[in-house]
Amino acid sequence: MLATPTRVTLVAGAAEGRTALNAFDGALLAAGVGNLNLIKVSSILPPGCRVVAGADIAPGTLTPTAYGSVTSHTPGEIIAAAIAVGQSRQGFGVIMEYAGSGRAGDAERVVREMVAEACETRGLELEAVHARAVEHRVVRLGCAFAGAVLWYGE
So which residues are the catalytic ones? 37, 42-43, 97
Q: Which residues contact 107 (CB under 8 A, 6 or more apart)?
A: 80, 81, 82, 98, 99, 100, 133, 135, 146
Nearest-angstrom CA–CA distance, 5 and 50: 9
Neighbours of 123 (CB within 10 A): 8
Distances (CA, A) of 128 to 6, 104, 114: 17, 20, 14
**Alpha helical stretches, state H, the chain:** 20-31, 104-122
Neighbours of 58 (CB within 10 A): 8
